[in-house]
A and B are shown apart, each in its own frame.
Chain A
Amino acid sequence: MRDAQRDYVLRTVEERGIRLVRLWFTDVLGNLKSFAISPAEMENALNDGMSFDGSSIDGYGRVQEADVLALPDPNTFEVLPWVDSKSAEARVFCDIAQLDGTPFDGDPRQVLRRNLDAARRQGFVFYVAPDIEYFYFAPGASDGRPVPLDHGGFFDLTTTDITSALRKETIRTLETMSIPVEYSFHEDSPSQHEIDLRHTDALTMADSVMTFRFVVKEIAAMRNVHATFMPKPLESVQGSGMHLHLSLFKDDVNAFHSEDDPYNLSDTAKSFMAGLLRHAGEIAAVTNQTVNSYKRLVPGFEAPVHVSWARNNRSGLIRVPVPKRGNELATRIELRSPDPACNPYLAFSVILAAGLRGVEQGYELPMESDANLFEMGDAALTKLGIEQLPQSLNDALKMMESSSLVAEALGEHIFEWFLRNKRAEWRRYKTHVSQFEIDTYLRSL
């Protein structure tokens, strides 16, 4: 099978006159990295990998040996649709290995592979479908503040035309890159959009999220628009989340589905949810990895704040969507905390690990919280045993630090590096004197 795939890629490079093949991989923070090789090098790359100096990549640095190998995954080979066919280019995602061929533990894609393998040993395939929100802003205002397109006035067409044209073009491009779109719409906030992707296995989806962010930004940039996945770019309107619809399949059967349950949730689904709830605080630093992420997770903006679940309550951490009647394949749960600035490989890894821990150890699912938790006082919440998600990156890092579950899921290398890097980010933020402080204190104190 691998030989046939290799052959397929090499023939396509030749037949389509590909001039450049871009090798894509991801750093620990979730930034897409790339280097290009000529078609002549492609056969070598597929057989033996391409070595490069990893020390310049965030989270790849090691003490002894800087060089690592990029091994193209031939099944992810795609011709890039936005490049002129005269100078056709293609991309392929890579796994990163050490020079002796063993998986490099600083590579997020290898981390997800390892976690998916663990699930597979229990017979589970992990499916993910994200709803991704983002903003379009007009190109740089002088003070660096984001200017929503709706107030931008840069264009002859109305902004509705511009943004829906952008979104249409983006979806067309995604579809030609094997990323099917389920729905898309203009969100409530000015210039905010949402695109929902159709479920795939988690590895394919993590690749798709990387491609998605790149395509959205690229297509916008071609029209001199800035697209951002920053979780909370505007203070007064809701931020951008990446709700994840999750399910586990065992062979061809949805392991989350049961006919006997009023919500059609199987015991597996319930203990998976219980795992997510119990470990929600520990994995938050990975699913919400920026200082800014925690400004989205506040009451009043449809973002979750409390560690709770409900059938149809958007203030909870987990929602159980009502599937179409009789469609047992569609039984799933929706995790509402992650934001689109996360590293999808690492986020899917810790989410799966938390859920599977619940399944392995048979965690009991707490009671549903269908009341609006935002209207309840802290005392009432404590009485119900409902905790809050971490309030800041600092809180989240503290919880992550003491989590053996997250350390195991990420592996020591990434666990350590991530904590070090994010603590530094927090320190930079903590020492920053903000406009808020100037406005509030400078005159009055």
Chain B
Amino acid sequence: MTSAGMLAVYPDTPSVELARTLDLSGYSWKGVATPEVMNRLQPSDGWMGAIVSCDDDPDGGWAMCRALRRLDQPVRRILVMITGAQIGDLEIRENLFDDFLLTPFHPRELEARLRHMFYNELTAPSSSVVEHAGLRLNLETYQATFGGRPLDLTYMEYELLKYFVQNPGRAFSREVLLSEVWGYEYFGGARTVDVHVRRLRAKLGEEHAHLIETVRSVGYRFGASKWSG
């Protein structure tokens, strides 16, 4: 199994059993010693989840859970690890965790709980696929399909279409498209954008060519805004 995101693990030196189970199951994780460290190490797309051990240091553990919930991108998948004697502690802290596991734990149980907890993250279409009105781009394999049929694109056609599909309903000037899609290395001038838009329209076919709209005296827009009637 490969996981899509990064787990925060508290404390930063987890038990050998925990570390081994995470590694063998293919999760990416980082040990975090304090809320500050957790903040600093936070990946740009946020933590996928967290495993917080409260058995040795309950105060530090629950503080970490609070910090995780307070982030701009709050962590919504927190597994706390407690001893059987701490079950009573859960009662007033329902909001701070999503599942719990008693220590000492069995690795198979941890695996099963993680798999269940991250079911959505690991199986739902990942952000590597973008779609719009029958058009589907797989950003990992660079493959584009329309209504399930493959669309053969050159690299720059693909890059331009990707930019459009990721930003539907917005009008872009040729200059913006050129700098966003081609980058500064490119010398060809904004006419290049027209050339590629014309090619994309041809490849989308007559019925769908309108997906890329010409916006007078601005540039181009992909997929009309749904509020524009």
Contact = CB atoms under 8 A, between A and B. Distances in A.
B155 A5 contact: yes
Interface residues of A, number: 35
A198 B195 contact: yes
B183 interface: yes
Nearest to A90: B152
Contacts of A16: 143, 150, 152
Contacts of B143: 11-12, 15-16
A9 B183 CA distance: 19
B141 interface: yes
B198 interface: yes
Contact of B191 (A12, A79, A176, A252): A252
B203 interface: yes
Size band of the interface chain B makes with A: 20 to 34
B175 interface: yes
Interface string A333-372: 0000000000000000000000000000000000000000
Interface string A77-89: 1110100000000
B175 A252 contact: yes
B162 to A, nearest CB: 11
A243 B93 CA distance: 79
B158 A178 contact: no
Given A74-B155, A77-B154, A78-B152, A180 B198 contact: yes
Contacts of B156: 75
Interface in B144-197: 150, 152, 154-158, 174-175, 183, 185, 187-192, 195
B195 A200 contact: yes
B113 interface: no
B113 to A, nearest CB: 35
A199 interface: yes
A79 B144 CA distance: 13
A426 interface: no
Contacts of A201: 188, 192, 195
A252 B155 contact: no
Contact of A75 (B150, B155, B203): B155
A4 B157 contact: no
B142 interface: yes
B202 interface: yes
B142 A75 contact: no
A178 B199 contact: yes
Considering residues B155, B156, B183, B195, which has the most beta carbons from chain A within 10 angstroms of its beta carbon? Answer: B155
A11 B150 CA distance: 14
A265 B216 CA distance: 25
A76 interface: yes
Contacts of A120: 187
A15 B141 contact: yes
Contacts of A329: 191
B188 A76 contact: no
A175 interface: yes
A206 interface: no
Q: Top 4 A-B pairs ranked by shortest CB distance?
A: A175-B202, A252-B190, A79-B152, A8-B155
21 contacts: A1-B183, A5-B155, A8-B158, A9-B155, A12-B143, A16-B152, A75-B155, A75-B156, A81-B152, A120-B187, A125-B187, A175-B199, A180-B195, A180-B199, A199-B191, A199-B195, A204-B195, A249-B191, A250-B189, A252-B174, A252-B190
